[in-house]
Amino acid sequence: MTVLPRFVRLYALLAVLLILPLAQAAPPSAATPAPVAASAATATAADAAGTPAAPATTPATTATAQAPRIGVVTMQPGEEFWSRFGHDALVVYDRATDQAVSYNFGYFDPSEPDFVQRFVRNDMRYRLVALPFDQDMAQYNYEGRKVSLQWLDLSDAQARALAESLRVNALPENSFYRYQYFDDNCAIRVRDAIDRTLGGDLRRQTEGRSHGNTLRSEALRLSRPEPWMWFVLDVLMGPDADKPVPVWAESYVPGRLAAALAEVKNGEGRPLVESERVLLPSRIAAEPEAAPLPWWPWALAGVVLGAALAWLGRRSRRALAVAALPLWAALGLIGALLLYGWLGTGHTYIYANRNLLLFDPLCLLLLYGGVRALRGREPGPLFGWLSLAVLLAAVVALFAYWLPVYPQRNAHWIALWLPVHLGLWAGFRATATTRQG
């Protein structure tokens, strides 16, 4: 009765590792600006408005009938794992009062009593927060992240409508939404708000074009500076993350959305982005560029490791068991978590994950025979068949990789683990043959 709660806690931890990197924003406490950044943020607000900063006591001279100015601010990825994807927000500049408000969709509360449970179920609650632009930018200035601003060329009616919809959306009774890391995240909320304002023109102009990117390729590109984060994301994502997506869908990444906006026309045929400027310079590493992932180093490592395991089996069954037990424990546990994520949660991009054929839950059943072999006993009558089943599952993964329909880009994992499973099977088979001889 104690196995299931431990298992659920382990999956909850892995789910946190998956979704927090995709949060693209800080928890509410991060909205409080660091004191050292306050002066820089004030200068940023004036620069964002495109006008000199006015003294606080100077009355506004601009006509109140003027429409607000709408912009998109894009923040480069940060150094913390939960900020690796970058972030963005909508800014509304009131010309009459010379005030700028940032509408930020990226706030969540990790102190909620059901926070972990919601992670596991894929039922996260995020909210839109409206805060002074200076205050919002101070945090990013403190972190040394580049911030750029794109002013949008909207009609007066469109600007007023978007500003009003954001104001209403930020009310406490309307501010919460169900966060989905690829389908309804912080950047997508910004994208959709602009698309509604344009009457669907943003989607029409971006859905028919593609750069050949996938949800996986973008996630791995941005998580590459954190190897553990890269590993978790790559193993957890299934084939749904490998379908080429249009520019519209790849805009779940804030940087991609900014690039898409720069290519779009407004309703009158002019560029949607009226002007663009850098508000805060970068003091950290730049956003990673796309880079191919060659499979041959993984294959080389797998062949060497598999050959070593097979050779070890010819020398000592106990030595082979020492090497096999931690491998089987790690592969089996990860596979069990993948299976639970598929069958027991709402994380749809984990579903039908073919890494289950490599990180095989059946490896957990091999642990019993491995312990017996470590003690100098026979592994048991089913041990040989189970190890063969694990090997054949890895072979099936290789054939599934070449299927033209519904592919999953996991060639590197196949290249690594197929030779290892083969080496383990051959090694224990060799020990059994030696003993029979």
> What is the pLDDT at residue 310?
96
In the chain, the percentage of residues whose pLDDT exceeds 70 is 84
Confidence of residue 51 (pLDDT cuts 50, 70, 90): very low
Burial class (CB in 10 A: 0-12, 13-18, 19+), 418: buried
pLDDT score, position 47: 55
- CA distance linking residue 415 with residue 346, whole number of Å: 30
Read off the pLDDT of each residue in 273-299 and give the average, rounded to a whole number: 95
Please tell me whether the overall predicted TM-score, pTM, comes out greater than 0.75 for this model.
yes
What pLDDT was estimated at residue 48? 54
Q: Name which residue leads in pLDDT, 405 or 272.
A: 272
Return d(Cα 174, Cα 228) in angstroms, integer: 36
- pLDDT value at residue 171: 97
Mean pLDDT of 356-361: 97
For 195, phi then psi, to 5°, come to -65, -40
Report the mean per-residue pLDDT for the chain.
Answer: 86
> What confidence score (pLDDT) does residue 50 get?
52
Q: Alpha-carbon distance 227 to 183, whole Å?
A: 24
Please choose, from the candidates 271, 106, 128, 242, the residue with its C-alpha nearest in 3D space to the C-alpha of residue 187: 106
**pLDDT digit string (tens) for 2-22?**
333 333 333 344 444 444 434
User: Crossing angle for the helix pair 254-261 and 186-197, nearest 10 degrees?
Assistant: 20
Buried b (16+ CB within 10 A) or exposed e, 372-390: bbbeeeebeeebeebbeeb
Task: State the pLDDT at residue 57.
Answer: 32
pLDDT digits (tens, 9 = 90+) for 360-393: 999 999 999 999 999 989 998 899 999 999 999 9
What is the structure's pLDDT at 433? 56
pLDDT at 40 > cutoff 50: no
Q: Looking at residue 37, what is its pLDDT?
A: 34
168-201 pLDDT, tens digit per residue, is: 999 999 999 999 989 999 999 999 999 999 999 9
- Express each pLDDT in 55-113 by its tens digit: 333 333 344 468 999 999 999 999 998 899 999 999 999 999 999 999 999 998 888 88
What phi-psi label fits residue 405: left (phi over 0), alpha (psi between -120 and 50 degrees) or beta? beta
Q: For 171, phi and psi rounded to 5 degrees?
A: -60, 145
Q: Which one is predicted more confidently, 95 or 26?
A: 95
Q: How far is CA 380 from CA 34, 137, 321, 386, 397, in A?
A: 63, 64, 14, 10, 27
What is the model's pLDDT at position 236?
96
Task: Give, as one character, the DSSP assignment of residue 346.
Answer: -
Between 54 and 68, where is the model more confident? 68
Sorted by sequence, the CB contacts under 8 Å of residue 356 that are 6+ apart come out as: 335, 338, 339, 342
Q: At what angle do helices 317-344 and 227-236 cross, to 10 degrees?
A: 70
Residue 45 phi, psi dihedral angles, 5° rounding: -60, -45
More confident residue, 19 or 148: 148
CB within 8 A of 92, min separation 6: which ones?
A: 68, 69, 70, 100, 101, 103, 162, 163, 166
Domain boundaries, the chain: 25-280, 296-436
